[in-house]
Amino acid sequence: MAAKGAAEWKGGLRSGEGAFTAGDGGIAGDYSFRSRFEDGPGANPEQLIAAAHAACFSMALSAALESAGTPVESVRTEAAVTLRQADGKPTITSIALSTIGQVPGVDEATFRAAAEGAKADCPVSRALAGVPEITLEARLA
């Protein structure tokens, strides 16, 4: 099954506006030049990438820990996607993942090792392999 999303942009780069949907329309938002490059109101594509990466990573980490015999109570992950100029073009230059897990019976070292594995193996991380820097902070609650 293919995951679906759609977006429409109307107008010029600085004066235009856009709208997007993800999935069956349950997730939707508006975006603009200001929301993407000037911290204006609305969403932007990098926020969607951040949410997708956090969601995928959390699932991958939970699956890895469960496979190792240590079921997860919860894994909460935040992702911060940085967009900067590189070679004169807007480019995603880094992603910072920060995760906190509630995993009974697991020590910090085991949790961190599982988190590093999830960072390398989750499908969204693999899709974002061209991002120059993806960092991870992982700790138990």
In DSSP notation, the chain reads: ----EEEEEES-TTT-EEEEEETTTTEEEEEEHHHHHS--SSB-HHHHHHHHHHHHHHHHHHHHHHHTT---SEEEEEEEEEEEEETTEEEEEEEEEEEEEE-TT--HHHHHHHHHHHHHHSHHHHHTTTSSEEEEEEEE-
Tens digit of each residue's pLDDT (9 = 90 or more) over 22-56 = 988 688 999 999 999 998 999 999 999 999 999 99
Tens of pLDDT along the chain (141 residues) come to 788 999 999 999 999 999 999 988 688 999 999 999 998 999 999 999 999 999 999 999 999 999 999 999 999 999 999 999 999 999 999 999 999 999 999 999 999 999 999 999 999 999 999 999 999 999 999
Q: Is the pTM of this model over 0.95?
A: no
Domain ranges of the chain: 5-37, 45-140
Identify the CA nearest to 141 among candidates 75, 87, 94, 62. Answer: 75
Q: What was the pLDDT predicted at 62? A: 97
Q: What was the pLDDT predicted at 27? A: 87
**Superfamily name with CATH number, domain 45-140:** K homology (KH) domain (3.30.300.20)
Tokens 């820097």 sit at which residue?
133
